[in-house]
Chains A and B, each alone.
Chain A
Amino acid sequence: MEYEIVIGLEVHSELSTKSKIYCTCTTEFGGEVNTHCCPICTGMPGVLPVLNEKVVEYAVKAGLATNCTIAEYSKQDRKNYFYPDLPKAYQTSQYDLPICKNGYIDIEVNGETKRIGLTRIHIEEDAGKLMHDEWDTGSLVDYNRCGVPLIEIVSEPDIRSAEEAKVFLENLKAILQYIDVSDCKMQEGSLRADVNLSVRPKGQKEFGTRTEMKNLNSFRGIIRAIEAETKRQIDEIESGGVIVQETRRWDDNKGISYAMRSKEEAHDYRYFPEPDLVPIVLDKEWIEKIRESLPELPEARKKRYVSEYGLPEYDAGILTSSKALSDFFEDAVSKSSNAKAVSNWIMGDLMRLLKEKNMEAEEIPFSGEYLAKMVALIDKGTISGAIAKKVFDKMFNTGKDPEVIVKEEGLEVVSDEGALVAVVTKILENNPQSVADYKSGKEKAFGFLVGQAMKETKGKASPQIINKILKEELDKM
């Protein structure tokens, strides 16, 4: 039987505020355990929360950038459950009145555009971190991350494949980075996803029973988890079993998921309005101001790259997929008159080098200005295309100005005609057979001679000048 996968995602993204959501401790990643803490974020008796205004602003930005309706009235609620990473034994979150509702993100898979609905975006606080101790006698709790602001973005069950899930997450990540509300560093846990997944026979209208997979913090892990869970569910059904609605934990090392015991017991979170925090009431004008302040989003940039610079859709899509890459392109293009060449260098050599070195676009070791300079060197004929590749590699490895590299290594095109006449003369002397071939009408021989001359000058000669001198010298013979 053919099955259809139905996926809904719950994405948690840590907001890049300076201080935590309800207290003044820093949100900085890392630091000695339990040093970014105070009585408030460790839930001591008697403490009270006060909401960080930036959290509201960032959540509204995220909502506007994903086509959500912004709630003019929203409130915070307590989600009650016991776990050592949650010092108050409740997470302050939003229940029935989230700050953003009914949005969507368009994704493109296999050349087709598909709209993935967003049910809601709400604000909440992150939990602490549990670790196992050296002697394995117990677990240790660090509250440094506790109280870091999060937005939870909940999608509709509109996703139908691992690929769609991946593209959705990539687009979402790009949007959040563009609007500068989250750095979305998956390795630091600032972007994580829970996957709700069910399968159903193709054509069936009702959803199958879904499972929820937690602890997914890499794109690769998400795809693998989706594939594995899809297979597990289909195998279960095919062998006559039933899917149990449960929370499962994905173990990326082992490549399997297993049912979680601890959080399983009765999902009765006993939500109720947080009495220590007051409602958030946003006026339309303020929301509009935030809307106007939003930067150009990936989709718009992509369209502009196609129309303004004549880039192919595909290239424009890649360039805008990451804010860092797109900003690099913008920087280069703003200082260059050859957008196409800039794009080609990024799409080709830069992407290759990043991949080889396992680096992110954020880590490009030179500025867009340098790439613009290098393109200009080619366009002015100061260096040849072949030399440019060398310069680019050098620039990537050293972060040096391309003009400096060219100068230091003496890579300029040799355009001194006198010197080149000598080179050409020498080549002609050494290759009488080719000269004869040329004279007898074999045009190919000319190309060979040009190549020899270029080789002799180590690629630094201007091919145009070589052509000219070679013709003149051959005519003289």
Chain B
Amino acid sequence: MKITKETIQHVANLARLNLTEQEKEKLTYEMENIISYVDKLNELDTSGIEPTAHVLPVKNVFREDKTKKSFDREKILANAPSQEDGCFKVPKIVE
């Protein structure tokens, strides 16, 4: 798979990363390398093979519907870079 600079820009956007021109070029080259290596997997015929998301056959792990005391708000907000009126604060959102 050919990796273009446009692809890198698109992916960076999805991942919320800003890349300088230099980084873009470097990443295009590196990703191209890695992806062409990863494309090795196409040598394997996997038709009809079930994908394994969980390596052990675990199912139905549930919790009882019981409440416990929540955390103090100070603890929840303690690491916030910006807060106001008991809330996390972000730049104004325009929808």
Q: A: which residues have CB within 8 A of B?
A: 17-19, 24-26, 32-39, 42, 50-54, 56, 75, 82, 84, 130-134, 136-143, 249, 260-262, 265-266, 268, 270, 273, 275, 277-281
Contact = CB atoms under 8 A, between A and B. Distances in A.
A52 B65 contact: yes
Given A19-B65, A137-B92, A139-B93, A38 B85 contact: no
Given A34-B77, A35-B70, A268-B14, A278 B93 contact: no
Contacts of B92: 132, 136-139
A44 to B, nearest CB: 8
Interface in B41-95: 53-54, 58-68, 70-71, 73, 76-77, 82, 84-95
B83 to A, nearest CB: 9
Interface of B: 10, 13-14, 16, 53-54, 58-68, 70-71, 73, 76-77, 82, 84-95
B61 A278 contact: yes
A138 B63 contact: no
Contacts of B53: 75, 273, 275
A141 B95 contact: no
- Secondary structure at the A interface, as helix, strand, loop or mixed, is loop
B59 A261 contact: no
Given A138-B89, A141-B90, A281 B77 contact: no
27 contacts: A18-B67, A24-B67, A26-B70, A34-B73, A34-B76, A35-B70, A35-B73, A36-B70, A37-B70, A37-B73, A37-B76, A52-B62, A53-B62, A84-B90, A84-B93, A133-B89, A136-B92, A139-B89, A139-B90, A140-B84, A140-B90, A141-B88, A141-B90, A275-B53, A275-B54, A278-B59, A279-B54
A50 B64 CA distance: 10
Contacts of B73: 32-35, 37
A138 B76 contact: no
Task: Kindly name the residue among B64, B66, B76, B86 whose own CB sees the greatest number of chain A CB atoms within 10 A.
Answer: B76
B69 to A, nearest CB: 8
A51 B14 CA distance: 28
Contacts, number: 128
A51 B58 CA distance: 14
Nearest to B93: A139
Contacts of B16: 82
Contact of A51 (B61, B68, B88, B94): B61
A139 B90 CA distance: 5
Nearest to A144: B70
A143 B86 CA distance: 11
B76 A42 contact: yes
